[in-house]
């Protein structure tokens, strides 16, 4: 009896899986006609999933525009990190001993180089300085301050030093169609960030040290 029950349950489970698979293979169009979903439509390559002739995606081509050309790319959305519009050959990766971005984008020389200056936010340290002597840990601020302190620094803040963690080179390749249409909150949102001036600390319960 137990064996019969197990067999019955197995058959029922297989039937459910089969029905689900069949349901996933078809979709109902606006006209009410069921259309088969082909394997070619499932992947980004849009080719036979068992074939190996077209495994390579569309070639991605990065900009070869020289640094300082003045070419800029609109931001993808409000306050999005700007894309890098120029060639980065030989500039990456950024290391603690080599950050070529600052040679053009440092605020004191950016204008003369025709480059966008690094903003004030990148010269602001938002990390609290806790105390730890090897045995006792002591917070620099209390919990009600959310462990946030803000202090202007003369050099790039450590969290901002690796430019390529937020800023990436723009490429011409398009794996999938981009239909996103941004709505900027500011008239100049496509070219400028709102995270500047008093906006840096607006709404934050902070301790300035």
Do residues 148 and 206 touch, judged by C-beta distance below 8 A? yes
pLDDT band for position 122 (50/70/90)?
A: very high
Looking at the predicted structure, is the pLDDT value of residue 10 above 70? no
Q: What is the pLDDT of residue 145?
A: 63
pLDDT given at position 66 = 87
The CA dihedral of 70, 107, 77, 74, to the nearest 10 degrees, is: 0
* The pLDDT of residue 14 is above 50: no
| Weakest mean pLDDT among 13-22, 132-141, 179-188 | 13-22
Overall average pLDDT of the 125-153 stretch: 78
Buried b (16+ CB within 10 A) or exposed e, 30-46: eeeeeeeeeeeeeeeee
For 68, the 3-state DSSP assignment is coil
Confidence of residue 22 (pLDDT cuts 50, 70, 90): very low
Q: Is the per-residue pLDDT at 126 higher than 70?
A: yes
Residue 78's pLDDT is 92
pTM value? Answer: 0.66
CA nearest to 88, candidates 101, 72, 75? 101
**pLDDT in the model for residue 138:** 83
User: Is the pLDDT score of 209 beyond 90?
Assistant: no
Q: Write the pLDDT tens digit of every residue in 26-85.
A: 455 555 666 677 776 776 666 666 766 666 666 778 888 888 887 889 999 999 999 999
Q: Quick check: 128 pLDDT over 70?
A: yes
Instruction: Read off the pLDDT of residues 150-208 as tens digits, 9 standing for 90 and up.
Output: 888 899 999 999 999 999 998 877 777 788 899 899 999 999 888 877 777 777 666 55
Instruction: Answer whether CATH 3.50.50.60 is correct for domain 60-174+185-203+205-209.
Output: no
Beta bridge pairs of residue 4: none
């Amino acid at each position: 009896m137990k064996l019969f029950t197990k067999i019955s349950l197995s058959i029922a489970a297989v039937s459910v899986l089969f029905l689900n698979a069949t349901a996933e293979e078809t979709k109902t169009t606006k006209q009410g006609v069921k259309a088969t979903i082909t394997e070619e439509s499932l992947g980004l390559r849009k080719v036979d999933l068992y074939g190996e002739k077209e495994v390579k995606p569309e070639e991605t081509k990065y900009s070869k525009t020289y640094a300082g050309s003045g070419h800029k790319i609109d931001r993808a959305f409000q306050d999005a990190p700007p894309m890098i519009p120029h060639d980065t050959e030989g500039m990456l990766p950024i290391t603690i001993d080599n950050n070529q971005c600052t040679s053009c984008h440092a605020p004191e020389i950016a204008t003369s180089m025709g480059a966008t200056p690094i903003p004030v936010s990148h010269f602001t340290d938002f990390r609290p300085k806790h105390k730890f002597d090897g045995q006792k840990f002591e917070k620099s601020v209390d919990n009600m301050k959310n462990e946030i302190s803000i202090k202007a620094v003369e050099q790039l803040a450590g969290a901002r030093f690796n430019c390529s963690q937020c800023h990436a080179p723009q490429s011409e390749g398009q794996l999938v169609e981009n239909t996103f249409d941004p709505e900027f909150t500011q008239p100049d949102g496509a070219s400028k960030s709102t995270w500047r001036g008093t906006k840096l600390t607006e709404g934050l319960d902070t301790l300035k040290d």
